[in-house]
Structures are given as structure tokens and as C-alpha cells.
Structure 1
């Protein structure tokens, strides 16, 4: 494999930093947009509740909007949740053995991936 010139490496690093900066800016913009959308959504849902419009449907350019107030959203499936659930239905030794197996499988499935990590800013 031929070694690349230092200036080429320097240029690629500069390009990487430039792209990383752009990604940070876009992520910040997306975060701000989500926050704004959530504020507007809260305001809309309050209005819908106050005016008893929970069964209304609103037509928009590319579809419809419906208001849902009792949406069930399960929490993330975590190792601690799995441990608690197993403890409720299995003998303690069996639950511990299953959890140990799950952790070992999870560690074995982990991949080593090369990456560039940026620190400081």
C-alpha cells in the first residue's frame, strides 16, 4: 500500500473536521426544531383538550392529523428491566444465570470499530 503524502492526510483531516462541524450545526438545528415543535404541539393539544376536539381530524397537504391522548409508549428494554422481570418469574439462581448469559452474548456481539474521536469543543 502506497503511503499518502502528509498534505493529502492534512487535507482529509481538514475535510473531516469541516464535515464534523457541519454535522454538529445540523444536529443543533434539529434539536432546536424539535424543541419548537414540542412547544407548539403542547399548545395545540391544550387547545384540543380545552375545546373538546379530541376526535377531530385535520386535513393537511400530505395527509391528515389525528389527536391521540392515550398512546402507550413502552420504556426502553434495558438489562436492569430484564433482570427485574426475570426475578419476578424465575428462581433467583436461574434469573442470575440467564442475565449472565445475556450479558456474555451481548459482549461477544460487540464489534471493534475504528473511529475518529473529537475532544475539546
Structure 2
């Protein structure tokens, strides 16, 4: 069975954070730096000290016969689940997906 692997990036904004949530997020900020973000099945949350925009990165593997939009929808579900489990309110979720099998690598020509 052929599969396609997508890297999905979900962007959004925190909203209505309580004082305790802000303190907890700031205390954990160094572990959620965008430069440390990876792609996992359960999602990887990253944000900066402003505590407004955030990014969730996830990897979605699905059968090749399913539409690409299914990967985007799954990524949105992963992000909302991750944020809901942490009790974090959010708004304006939007996602984009890139299929790893569609990426062309241009290798330099040897001389």
C-alpha cells in the first residue's frame, strides 16, 4: 500500500489566557522555541514570549489515494486536541501541508 507523508504546520493565536496559564507558558518557553520544533504524530507546540501567535507542527502519514486536504484537516485536529488537552484557548487556526514525496532535491553537479 502506497502512503504519503505530510508535514503540516498549523498557525493560530492564544486567546483569553489566565494569569496562571501565562506564567506556565513563560516558564516552559525555552522548551517551545520555534528553532527547536520538530514534527511528530501528536504535534509539537512552539511560541514566543509575547504569548500570542503559536505554531503546531505535526507529521501525517496517510494512504496515497486520500486527498491532500485530509492531511490538512488531520493537522488541524491534532493542533486543537493538543491545545484543548492543555486547557489553552485559541483562535484563527489555519494550516498548510507539504508532502515529502513531492519535494524535489536538486543535488549539485559534480565537476
TM-score normalised according to structure 1 size: 0.20
Of Structure 1 and Structure 2, the greater strand share is in 2
Of Structure 1 and Structure 2, the greater helix share is in 1
Which has the bigger relative contact order, CA under 8 A and spacing at least 6? Answer: 2
TM-score normalised according to structure 2 size: 0.22
Query: If you compute each CA radius of gyration, which structure gives the higher value, 1 or 2?
Result: 1
